[in-house]
Amino acid sequence: MSESDASKAEPTLVERWLQDQQQWQRTLFTYLDSMMKNDEFLMHMGNAMRGSLLAGKPYPTTPPPAAASADDAATADRLEKVLYALHQLQGQMQDVLMTLDEIRAGAKATRLKPDSTKKPARRARAAAGARKTGNRRPRS
């Protein structure tokens, strides 16, 4: 390989600087493009600027203190207590429903089970009746 070929293959420092600048432009445009087209990109960039790659939601930050009046705060407090009490009731209701389901399932199981034992029981009753009356069913 001649010296001129080698110099063609290896770009000079100035050429590399120029290439790098072009790459920087490309990088910049890619970012701008994503900012314009992708709604979530800015949020994800914001997370990255907080040092996090958290996806899908903003990095947790402390919300500013609410400027609600004392009356509003008291009302909200009462409402939340009521709401929590409702959640507790919901839990108790679910317990009741589960118990009912269990009773229903148990009843179904007992209804199903005797099918196999019914005949012998009837036979036993019939046999007992026959013993009392002296009427015996003929054996088939």
Partner 1 sequence: MTDPGVERELEAMLARSEQTRARLDRLHDVLTSGGHYGTGATPAAVVHQENKLRLLRLLDESGQPRTGPPVLFVPAPVSRYFIVDLLPDRSFAGHVARAGFDVFIIDFGTPGGEDRFADLEYYVDGLLRRSVRKVSAITGQTSINIVGYCLGGTLSLLYAAMYPSTVSRLVLLTTMIDGDTRGGIAWVAHQMGLAGESYENPRLVPAAEIKSWFEMLAPGSNSLIGRVNDLWERLDEPVDRLRDVRTMATWVDDVVAAPGRLLAELYQQFGPGRNRLMAGTATVGSRSIDCAEVTMPVLSVSAAKDLIAPADGVDAIRSLVPHAEVMRLPGGHVGIVAGRTALALWQRTVEFLMRNVK
State yes or no: residue 17 binds partner 1 (CB under 8 A).
yes
| Triad 130, 132, 133: Cα angle to 5° | 65
The residue within the footprint of partner 1, chosen from 16, 118, 123, 125 (CB under 8 A), is: 16
Instruction: Give the binding range for partner 1 (CB under 8 A) out of 76-84, 112-120, 121-129, 132-140.
Output: 76-84
The residue within the footprint of partner 1, chosen from 7, 11, 30, 131 (CB under 8 A), is: 30
State yes or no: residue 51 binds partner 1 (CB under 8 A).
yes
DSSP track, 69-97: -HHHHHHHHHHHHHHHHHHHHHHHHHHHH
Torsion on CA atoms 109, 112, 115, 116, rounded to nearest 10:
-60
CA distance 65 to 55: 26
The DSSP symbol for 76 reads: H
| Site residues for partner 1 per CB under 8 A | 13, 16-17, 20, 23-24, 27, 30-31, 34, 38, 41, 44-45, 47-57, 59-63, 76, 79-81, 83-84, 87-88, 90-91, 94-95, 98, 101-102, 105
